Structure 1
């Protein structure tokens, strides 16, 4: 068979062999076809041959046969034969380009069909496509070819395929190969972003980017895709943890390969040209700027970009950021600390909360310090800050989504159980119930499948390690921004950045702190801190968390310590609360009771060691006011976390114990504020917890009596009673659990620094709290605290009694405390201590004889003091009202006049009040202790009155 006929599978005879077409053309009516006939031959085949149903496949086959003939004739290539092959290649490749440039050029072909063939058999087409690219580039038609190819590829993936995801590995691998082939050519990469559908239209909806843009479909290839999640997890909700682990690991391995390939594709675009680099970053920015609602409380997920799409972009950007955040920090100074002063950055900051400034102040700063128009950010800065933005809205949006669907799964399960219960008792309802249950079980499969997929994604240690490494490197950069000299880590930074204001509570000092916050850090968007914090707290729940035992963890701990130590840095107490939560996880002992994974850093890192204790004590006070409607309850969780850290520091690192003692002696105002907050919390939590336990007890008795047919005592029906029982149980468990850590700190600190607990502004409230709770635990109504399964509420009454009485013993040598207990006319009774000794020693054996002796001796001393106080009080007779403290109704010792209300009050009383509330208690006007006016005249009159009464007696 002649060469041309072999390559093109044609014959000019009456009939051809198998697979050969008979050419019907007067121009080709020859015995043997020559190279001069190839153009006519191809045109005839492509535009007239009714039997040629796959013209592009035909061209590819011709190209491959030509290459085969080259190899066969390699040793005997004459100039004539070589010219023939070159001409055949030229025409075949040329018509291949024409097929993509002119729609319906071929009689039985269109571009979508060609795309379909290529996707199904990419390995067969790869060489031909490469030649098409090179030819188009030489001819100057490359933009037209790429413009024709990729929009149709995206159309095929999103319109013709039902799904394009990990469930069809053959298709997605082929598509990724196509992108890799094209973009491996710099001539394509440099102009790729100029294709009409590279960018979305201006009015593109947030959820449409992944369906309408050139990179959209491939960037959604992830285990987080709902269809992939349903197929791998949702079809069998009864899988064991081990079975799920196997699925996790399989998908993680597959996803790693995909991310690496996506990284290659994006990398080629970044390296294509300066223009393609800027276009790509602009594309990523456009996506995230339209998806800020992913972190919204009431976002409609269906109207936003998918978790799969956003997390893939997040991970890719973080991979690009790694080289300039490595441990050498050689490129750290390439990141522009004044990035947001540029006119040309990509990120939309409108509506973004700032770290410690308002919008108006931030805008004014940027307007005054705006860089010139021709000053553009470098790639490193653009990539770094885009990565930060995606960490918050991309990965962070996925975290929030997981938090939302977790209770949703619980509600679906409860609803299924409820409907099943009704259908069993009501036959007429059964048919409807069956349909409803089917719908809900399908919804449960999808939702649970997505939940499992998210768990699989975040349990991927290697991928999450990359994210956390970025956070650690970014933490070092942010310390550099905060550093007034911007020289960290190459020069150390000293804390605090501004002097602590002695005697002033930072909780009421927001304006001063904002005015002294570092620039430009204060004007950064808040998500610069929030994104890393949210991620780190979330990922810490996984046993494979990259936070644990990470060699770069100290960078993050240093940054966290700075935020807590310097209240001017971050104004949002909720962010600080999350940091404290994470650090408490790092402080908690491990399973073998060895120190928590952050304890080594707490002990050995100089910056942390010198500032952590003060930071925690200060934030314990500051968190009193979070600014939200739930601020009263918000503080308890943060203080619980702080208490965990303080307890571990006190037990395991002697240096921190020394620091605490030093603070109590040399910074007494600061420390007393801390103790006052501890006392406030413990007073409320114990009162709340024990009151709710009493309610649980009463409702349990009532329900039990009703089940026996006894007369009901309460008015509520059973449904209402059970609702109240559930509420009381929740509150009891929460309050008792939170109080447990506070009482532990009281035990520790009263032992070693008792003097801090007997100051005039503290001691009476402390004594009253202890006496009241002692009465609750051993008094006449203690039986009301007996509930079924007390462990369910973290309630151990005997251990709580031991803790309370331990505090009495630790303070038993302090006369001020003895006197305060004696003055407590509401709850103090000597017999309560006798009852406590009976329970602790004789019933439980929790304490020693020495302990009991000390406790009884204390009670005896307090009783004697009470009798002396009564005798002294009786000697004063009917005291004039102007001598009495208006809040405590005791004779004032050091009266002062309040500047706005003009009320006279004892200094210790107003000082105690100001520890919790910085206002005048009589008119709610702002008040500081230094503003009160000593009333020496009244003080002298009281002294004279006492002297007269004693003399008269």
Structure 2
């Protein structure tokens, strides 16, 4: 132990700086310690004894030591000076020396306790802290101005720059200290400097956070921390982007300088011979010393060679860079994560010019921004096609076990990526308000520049990749988690007026939920004229960014998968068709072309399959899906809150239906906000994502609210998506035999009260979507509704709502059942007509008729047959479902079907279809492979008979059958009963009721015939002009002035809201009773009956 504190300080300073002011000490160390002769002379001018070293002279020591320049002084004739220079570490730059000093100061701290009494410890540590602070200052300064001291270039030509920090940040150790020994061990007598000729000194292990923190403290207050650390962090993300897996020199993207030819330069041979140099020094042979030093200077140097560097934005064409298939990206991202734990560094990153670069495009922001390369790491094929090849090269033939293993591998890696992304940005956001604003501006710019991702068609090269945008979305979801608590206690902190005033991203061109373009423009202009309020809080900012990214990030990725699945389906369908026709084209001259197409189509299917798997592997990660569900449920609740006048939901349950007056704040919302929820929930439904009970309740509340208040949503296809969401969640799958939502729909208070009328109303609305495909759209929408009805039909409370609707005055129930009848009528008519056509086409394909046709004619006929089969299958599947629903409604609400405007049409439709199924034409319905087209004649006959039996007790229905002179036939009805008995389609009591119905119909027909004979010729003015039957309740149509029977016009208006004579708009309330004509008709009938 040293005799005193002063002795310890002298020794510590000497060791830390590896210098001495005593020539004898230098000689004894073999000149390992640098003798600062000029400084020694300056400090000891008043004494012949060497001066004591203290922290107070550290500044002078550093200047003296760093000013030594072996290259500049090689021509000196001062042998001692040359000896000092010759023993400096070879290749050592000012940075290397300062880092080594800092490390030695850190190592000295651990020896204080052993070297000094306890009373001196704090004093000693203060000395070491003072020295480290000084060294840190110089270390930062030499990175800002590398040429401020000699020795700013390595022998191989690599210049000192801030990039020397890269290896330290990524934990790449140079292993050899500038002082010739490790900082964790005692001094070694060896003095190897080979490593420093190509590598810079690094700070390793636990020392790095301390070093960075001290740099941040010293230079963090606008003193140049960005100049010192910014280039290194830029280099880290550049390497991720460009696929650079590291280098021997942190200043270069290659391990060696590059010649103009692009070939790496080989290291030069030669250099200093230590033994020869020491011998020359001992002999004081100046010329030999100079020769040795010149040789050392030339070793490895290439005149004019410059290291290759690449600023972050320099790449001309994006490539994959490092991918999640390997681990090379981890050190670079981890380096950023660890560094931003130091608040000044986190703050500094946000203020770098490339953190949020100006004049960047949508596709370049992920490549040119500082953290873009980190944010874009993903499995999506648009940025990383190699991921698809790596994991899903043979997706179509992979077993489920193999696919699941690949999914888990990608998902576990992406969870790490997402966690690291959040740690980086969370640290920056928390580093201070200015940095937080920079981050928000960057996120907003990413949305603004990629607005085109929200379009139906977009050129991928103009926008950012799915990976970047989805990862950004996932990142924002993590920031949103704190305000999406179970009790939604912070939902009222979201500013409802934010979209009017914010400037993060432009919504001017976006379609609104329920406002015209002009209204939206005026709404925005009003906001600009209002005084600026307080800045939005962080919760509001994050929420609306999540809303935008729900569309631009996840929404676009989901739409991309849907498009690829459809494209793959088209290829598969075409492949199957061509393979089915192989016998026809195999002998043709075009056969090679067919084979070539099959080969290319199968390759496309394989590619698409792999790309779908790759995208799904990331999107279907359980942790990600739960975040998505949580946010979209929160968004559903928020939308209801915006829609209700008092904006109290969910703290006060919403009251349905909503008011007719739609709040402006809701009308002006971008339509995509609503549609994104639907698209996301549909995606989640298709991939069977698990929903919590809370999520189920939120979803049912949302769907019920806006289906029951349809006037809030202008676009009918959005409401259709609500029905589609419910549909996917009520169909059975896996252990959910009743579907995911069936139980919730049958206990949810709002659904029990409002779902049935909402479904009926939308069934009616679906008739007119405004689309050129509306005739076919309505069938798909109504199919979804039919399945929802099926899932709730057994619930007594839902049934009560059905009865209430059927009995309510002013209800549209009759319109609903009329539309249902229309659908059944069209679908069965079309299917049965096309079955007859298919029967004919199949007959033409049988020998000998088929032998007389050419191959081309056979191909055309087969194509027509396939088209017929597809149409028939679709018609029958939909028609069967709608017929099942008609059976249910006729059983429950019999009276509603007895109105004059309904009962005749229903009877006529049933009679017509029964005649086809059991009448003379039934033989024409026989086709090959009826199951292929979903044709089950017995089941269809059973269903038709069920409707009859539900209504046969009603005399209005019996009378309607009797009045049907077009299709009713007693033999056909009797044959239908015989078929039902033979194949046990109906029970004996039902067959008995069937026979009784036939008898009643016959009796009624006879009565009708007798009445008709009694009336004789009826004047035309008493006949309905549309039905040619005598009118019972004539009414005048106000615009066309035509007179028709009330039941006739009511039946017409159920399907068409116009005057049948001039197509002008018409409501049943507009018709005018013709009391005078009615009296004449009644008098006419009474007179004729009296005479008979």
Among 675, 682, 685, the residue aligned to 1:540: 685
**Max Rg structure:** 2
How many angstroms apart in 2 are the aligned matches of 1:815 and 1:575? 43
Secondary structure, aligned partner of 1:305: coil
Among 109, 120, 137, the residue aligned to 2:159: 109
How many angstroms apart in 2 are the aligned matches of 1:441 and 1:39? 73
Indicate if the aligned counterparts of 1:143 and 1:195 stay in contact, CA closer than 8 A. yes
Among 918, 927, 934, the residue aligned to 1:794: 934
Structure 1 equivalent of residue 948 of structure 2: 808
Secondary structure, aligned partner of 1:905: strand
Indicate if the aligned counterparts of 2:883 and 2:943 stay in contact, CA closer than 8 A. yes
How many angstroms apart in 1 are the aligned matches of 2:332 and 2:936? 63
How many angstroms apart in 2 are the aligned matches of 1:437 and 1:831? 54
1:616-655 aligned within 5 A: 616-651=759-794, 653-655=795-797
Among 505, 511, 515, the residue aligned to 1:347: 505
Structure 2 equivalent of residue 836 of structure 1: 976
Structure 2 equivalent of residue 75 of structure 1: 114
How many angstroms apart in 2 are the aligned matches of 1:541 and 1:720? 36
How many angstroms apart in 2 are the aligned matches of 1:613 and 1:139? 66
Indicate if the aligned counterparts of 1:112 and 1:153 stay in contact, CA closer than 8 A. no
Aligned residue pair count: 927
Among 385, 388, 391, the residue aligned to 2:544: 385
Indicate if the aligned counterparts of 1:101 and 1:145 stay in contact, CA closer than 8 A. no
How many angstroms apart in 2 are the aligned matches of 1:160 and 1:50? 34
Indicate if the aligned counterparts of 1:764 and 1:820 stay in contact, CA closer than 8 A. yes
| Structure whose residues are more often helix by fraction | 1
1:154-165 aligned within 5 A: 154-159=237-242, 161=244, 163-165=320-322
Q: Is the counterpart of residue 858 in structure 1 residue 993 in structure 2?
A: no
How many angstroms apart in 1 are the aligned matches of 2:576 and 2:891? 53
Indicate if the aligned counterparts of 2:136 and 2:218 stay in contact, CA closer than 8 A. no
Q: CA deviation at 1:445?
A: 5.5
Residues 59-117 of structure 1, C-alpha deviations (whole Å, 9 max, x = no match): 65664455334434553268799757854663366335533665995451365863663
Structure 2 equivalent of residue 563 of structure 1: 706
Indicate if the aligned counterparts of 2:919 and 2:972 stay in contact, CA closer than 8 A. yes
How many angstroms apart in 2 are the aligned matches of 1:26 and 1:100? 29
Q: Is the counterpart of residue 325 in structure 1 residue 325 in structure 2?
A: no
Residues 182-214 of structure 1, C-alpha deviations (whole Å, 9 max, x = no match): 322222333433321222434x32211100111
Structure 2 equivalent of residue 907 of structure 1: 1046
Structure 1 equivalent of residue 857 of structure 2: 717
Among 613, 624, 629, the residue aligned to 1:452: 613
Structure 1 equivalent of residue 271 of structure 2: none
Structure 2 equivalent of residue 692 of structure 1: 834
Structure 2 equivalent of residue 218 of structure 1: 374
Structure 1 equivalent of residue 1065 of structure 2: 926
Indicate if the aligned counterparts of 2:324 and 2:378 stay in contact, CA closer than 8 A. no
**Residue 550 and residue 207 in structure 1: after superposition, are their counterparts in 2 closer, same or farther (change >3 A)?**
farther
Structure 1 equivalent of residue 667 of structure 2: 522
How many angstroms apart in 1 are the aligned matches of 2:106 and 2:594? 67
Residues 529-559 of structure 1, C-alpha deviations (whole Å, 9 max, x = no match): 111111011111123x133x43332122112
Secondary structure, aligned partner of 1:627: coil
1:664-675 aligned within 5 A: 664-667=806-809, 669-675=811-817
Indicate if the aligned counterparts of 2:324 and 2:379 stay in contact, CA closer than 8 A. no
- Structure 1 length-normalised TM: 0.88
Structure 1 equivalent of residue 279 of structure 2: none
Structure 2 equivalent of residue 135 of structure 1: 218
How many angstroms apart in 2 are the aligned matches of 1:64 and 1:365? 63
Q: CA deviation at 1:438?
A: 9.1
How many angstroms apart in 2 are the aligned matches of 1:781 and 1:835? 13
Superposed CA RMSD in Å reads 3.9
Which ranges of structure 2 fall in alignment gaps of 5 or more residues? Answer: 1-10, 42-49, 73-87, 174-202, 245-318
**Residue 98 and residue 479 in structure 1: after superposition, are their counterparts in 2 closer, same or farther (change >3 A)?**
same
Among 82, 86, 91, the residue aligned to 1:52: 91
Q: CA deviation at 1:431?
A: 12
Structure 1 equivalent of residue 1006 of structure 2: 867
1:393-408 aligned within 5 A: 393-408=552-567
How many angstroms apart in 1 are the aligned matches of 2:505 and 2:105? 52
**Residue 70 and residue 809 in structure 1: after superposition, are their counterparts in 2 closer, same or farther (change >3 A)?**
same
Secondary structure, aligned partner of 1:496: coil
Indicate if the aligned counterparts of 1:616 and 1:642 stay in contact, CA closer than 8 A. yes
Which ranges of structure 1 fall in alignment gaps of 5 or more residues? Answer: 499-512
Indicate if the aligned counterparts of 1:119 and 1:171 stay in contact, CA closer than 8 A. no
Using the TM superposition, name which of 933-942 and 463-472 deviates more.
933-942
How many angstroms apart in 2 are the aligned matches of 1:857 and 1:431? 65
Structure 1 equivalent of residue 270 of structure 2: none
- Structure 2 length-normalised TM: 0.77
Using the TM superposition, name which of 456-465 and 692-701 deviates more.
692-701
Q: CA deviation at 1:240?
A: 0.7
Q: CA deviation at 1:168?
A: 5.8
Secondary structure, aligned partner of 1:920: coil
Structure 1 equivalent of residue 355 of structure 2: 198
Q: CA deviation at 1:425?
A: 7.9
Structure 1 equivalent of residue 258 of structure 2: none
Structure 2 equivalent of residue 240 of structure 1: 399
Secondary structure, aligned partner of 1:896: strand
Q: CA deviation at 1:278?
A: 2.5
Q: Is the counterpart of residue 756 in structure 1 residue 896 in structure 2?
A: yes
How many angstroms apart in 1 are the aligned matches of 2:40 and 2:430? 52
How many angstroms apart in 1 are the aligned matches of 2:68 and 2:1087? 130
Using the TM superposition, name which of 167-176 and 856-865 deviates more.
167-176
Structure 2 equivalent of residue 502 of structure 1: none
Residues 573-606 of structure 1, C-alpha deviations (whole Å, 9 max, x = no match): 1111111112123333455685433233223322
Indicate if the aligned counterparts of 1:164 and 1:172 stay in contact, CA closer than 8 A. no
Q: CA deviation at 1:888?
A: 1.6
**Residue 891 and residue 354 in structure 1: after superposition, are their counterparts in 2 closer, same or farther (change >3 A)?**
same
How many angstroms apart in 1 are the aligned matches of 2:389 and 2:913? 56
**Residue 940 and residue 173 in structure 1: after superposition, are their counterparts in 2 closer, same or farther (change >3 A)?**
same
Secondary structure, aligned partner of 2:712: coil
Q: Is the counterpart of residue 614 in structure 1 residue 664 in structure 2?
A: no
Indicate if the aligned counterparts of 2:1058 and 2:1065 stay in contact, CA closer than 8 A. yes
**Residue 711 and residue 69 in structure 1: after superposition, are their counterparts in 2 closer, same or farther (change >3 A)?**
same
Q: CA deviation at 1:9?
A: 9.0
Indicate if the aligned counterparts of 2:102 and 2:135 stay in contact, CA closer than 8 A. no
Q: CA deviation at 1:366?
A: 4.5
How many angstroms apart in 1 are the aligned matches of 2:984 and 2:643? 56
Structure 1 equivalent of residue 3 of structure 2: none
Q: CA deviation at 1:43?
A: 5.9
How many angstroms apart in 1 are the aligned matches of 2:52 and 2:401? 67
Among 227, 231, 251, the residue aligned to 2:410: 251
Q: CA deviation at 1:756?
A: 0.8
Structure 2 equivalent of residue 336 of structure 1: 495
Secondary structure, aligned partner of 1:272: coil
Secondary structure, aligned partner of 1:347: coil
Indicate if the aligned counterparts of 2:105 and 2:131 stay in contact, CA closer than 8 A. no
How many angstroms apart in 2 are the aligned matches of 1:796 and 1:621? 29
Q: Is the counterpart of residue 680 in structure 1 residue 825 in structure 2?
A: no
Q: CA deviation at 1:656?
A: 1.1
Structure 2 equivalent of residue 209 of structure 1: 365
Structure 2 equivalent of residue 507 of structure 1: none
Indicate if the aligned counterparts of 1:573 and 1:626 stay in contact, CA closer than 8 A. yes
Q: CA deviation at 1:351?
A: 1.5
**Residue 566 and residue 116 in structure 1: after superposition, are their counterparts in 2 closer, same or farther (change >3 A)?**
same
How many angstroms apart in 2 are the aligned matches of 1:710 and 1:418? 22
Q: CA deviation at 1:819?
A: 1.5
**Residue 42 and residue 53 in structure 1: after superposition, are their counterparts in 2 closer, same or farther (change >3 A)?**
closer
Among 145, 149, 152, the residue aligned to 2:228: 145
How many angstroms apart in 2 are the aligned matches of 1:382 and 1:775? 66
Indicate if the aligned counterparts of 2:872 and 2:933 stay in contact, CA closer than 8 A. yes
How many angstroms apart in 2 are the aligned matches of 1:432 and 1:743? 43
Q: Is the counterpart of residue 767 in structure 1 residue 904 in structure 2?
A: no
Secondary structure, aligned partner of 2:967: coil
Indicate if the aligned counterparts of 2:99 and 2:139 stay in contact, CA closer than 8 A. no
